[in-house]
A and B are shown apart, each in its own frame.
Chain A
Amino acid sequence: MENVISIRSLKKTFRDFWLRPTVTAVDGIDFDVAKGEVFGLLGPNGSGKSTTIKLILGLLSPSAGKVEVFGSSPRSLKVKSRLGYLPELSHLHPFLTAREAIRYYAGLSGMSSADSARRAEELIAQVGLESAADRPVGGYSKGMARRVGLAAALVAKPELLVLDEPTSGLDPIGTREVKELVRSLAKSGVTVLMTSHLLGDVADVCDRILILAKGKVAAQGRLDDLLSRRDATSFTLPGVTPEDAAAAAALLKERFGRDPEVSHPRISLEQFFVDTVKGGTSATS
């Protein structure tokens, strides 16, 4: 499969004004991201996630090693025209309205005024900012600014989307919408590279992950391979009474000689919240 991102022996050492090394944020990492894949970059604070993303975007220069995006240097204008980026903090000009901000980023991508205006309207609807589109973004909440940032990242219909903490500051419904958007973009062939501290979000959308620790690769692989417990098997059977469950557990114990774990499957809190808020149902326990 064609690789969109290819990283080999990548190293980044930051230096002070006198060129003395201060910290090595990324220390000899290798990985590839294939076309159409949703790839998660994980790690604790200071592990080198954001530095790696900025190296991939060409904002930082590597101290050693090689970064290729679409087979070229990330600084190439042709490569940049195929990229979309949502930074960890949505850095927007506070005096622009959401509509103006999206049109500004469309202009930076070389779109004409008419195309910029049309695309801005599409994205305002897509990220749910219709009612606040003409307010200066300086007065937005973090979640609303995040939505503008996401629209700006999508404005040029990128083939590679780099999302740094995309759900940070969003409410559960916004989080769900972003995850659905990532899934639908991946289905349409867009490659997504994302970081998140919310491991549940990563588990929901990523095909493969890489865990960084102290600038080095601690683990990488497909989520199923990394998370599946090969030494245990679970069964889910709907419509089982407590008596039937007890009888089944007794049978399993008799067959395998060990007590099985019997429980009701749980939906996620996010799913429960979304169902409650959107469905208007009341639930108490």
Chain B
Amino acid sequence: MFSLAKLRAVRALAGAARREATADPASALLLMTAVAAVHLAPAFQFHRLGEPGRLARDGGLSALLVFGGVFAAVSAIRTVGREIESGVAAAALVRPISRTMFLAAKTLGVVSAFARFALAIVFAAALSSVSCVVGSRIEGDDGTACVSAFCLLFGFGGEMLAIAGAAFAHRFMRRGFPSTCFALIMWSQPVAFGLAMLLPGHADAVGEALVGPFLLAAASVFAAVSSFACAAAALSTRLKGAAAPAALAFMAALSLLMPALVKALPALAALRAAVPDFGVFWLADAVSKSAPAPWGAAALPVAAALAVSAFWISVGAIMISNRDVS
């Protein structure tokens, strides 16, 4: 059933989908904006909104959800729907791969690209949170907000350096600007975080800055957005033009309303099989309150994301199997 040749085909398709997702100028712009917002938001806060670093962590999770959600959905629609319409998919579908494999591999490639997007945001949020904690130690807890200038320099400056590096590579090495920019920004954030940890007092702040649930919450948002990417890929096998983004926007609204809807009408809980329920996924509240969140709390969102993803990949496989590809 699973041969080496099929795995090679899946790897080739997923790799091309990942590169396609990161080669789009809109992808680089989304990542650029998200990372800049995560670094700059705490620098412009004038009042503490809770414990040090709360704005940075919640901002990071929001950026992952909103910018990451747009990135994953647009990439999935482009790599599946537009390729079917343009004829690029036909050139792949005449090879020895099934249509289900095509859809699953493309979705895997998009999720892999989103993982890179998430990596940059998580490190940016972590650095920004450390920056807030270090800043609060400098100024004391008197209600004014302050950040570590070095963290801001490494994080935001690193992003600017990445953009300049991409422009240099485009000018002198003929590299594609959007994909190089995306890759350099992605790597700039872990490097900036690592450099910041070498500064006195910064490594000590990590425990306070990255309170337990932050990474769990990030994993949870990642799982939710990945299941949206699966839905986007499945819907774009049939829906043309603006219909797929419109259907996804409706689904996103339903996801946000799901906790209230289920509370009002418990029978609607059955919709959780198809629509991610942010009542299940969203752990930001636990993060903001620094409440202890057991690792078991991650199991539910991941299981929910896997169920929703499996549902949509199955629906997509049925929809693509009998459609004409020109």
Contact = CB atoms under 8 A, between A and B. Distances in A.
B87 A91 contact: yes
Contacts of A169: none
Contact of B94 (A58, A93, A95): A58
Interface in A81-125: 81, 83, 85, 87, 89, 91-93, 95-96, 104-105, 107-112
Contact of A95 (B8, B11, B20, B91): B20
A152 interface: yes
B113 to A, nearest CB: 13
Interface string B8-32: 1101110110011001000000000
A197 interface: no
B3 A110 contact: yes
Nearest to B87: A91
A91 B91 contact: yes
- Most chain-A CB neighbours within 10 Å: which of B8, B94, B176? B94
Interface string B72-114: 0000000000000011101111111110000000000000000
Contacts, number: 89
B6 interface: yes
Given A108-B92, A110-B4, A60 B326 contact: yes
B20 A59 contact: no
A108 to B, nearest CB: 4
A96 B17 CA distance: 12
A110 B90 contact: no
Q: In terms of DSSP, what is the predominant structure of the interface of chain B?
A: helix
A26 B78 CA distance: 31
B325 A60 contact: yes
A95 B19 contact: yes
Nearest to A60: B324
Interface in B266-294: none
A85 B94 CA distance: 7
Contacts of A104: 12, 15-16
Contacts of A80: 94-97
B5 interface: yes
B59 to A, nearest CB: 32
A54 B90 CA distance: 9
A243 B3 CA distance: 75
Contacts of A91: 86-88, 90-91
B182 to A, nearest CB: 12
B85 to A, nearest CB: 11
B189 interface: no
Contacts of A232: none
A77 interface: yes
A89 B88 CA distance: 10
Contacts of A85: 91, 94
Contacts of B237: none
B8 A77 contact: no
A112 B92 CA distance: 17
A93 B16 contact: yes
Contact of A108 (B90, B97, B174): B97
B128 interface: no
Nearest to A138: B176
Contacts of B98: 77
A33 B87 CA distance: 26
Contact of B96 (A60, A89, A92, A109): A109
A57 interface: yes
Interface in A49-80: 54, 57-61, 77-78, 80
Nearest to A101: B16
A45 B9 CA distance: 35
B243 to A, nearest CB: 10
A172 interface: no
A143 interface: no
9 contacts: A57-B90, A59-B90, A60-B324, A93-B19, A93-B20, A104-B12, A105-B95, A109-B9, A112-B8
Interface of A: 14, 54, 57-61, 77-78, 80-81, 83, 85, 87, 89, 91-93, 95-96, 104-105, 107-112, 135-136, 152, 156
Given A58-B94, A91-B91, 14 more contacts: A59-B93, A59-B94, A59-B325, A80-B96, A80-B97, A83-B94, A85-B91, A87-B87, A91-B87, A92-B91, A104-B12, A107-B15, A109-B5, A110-B3
**4 A-B pairs with least C-beta separation:** A110-B5, A107-B12, A81-B96, A108-B95
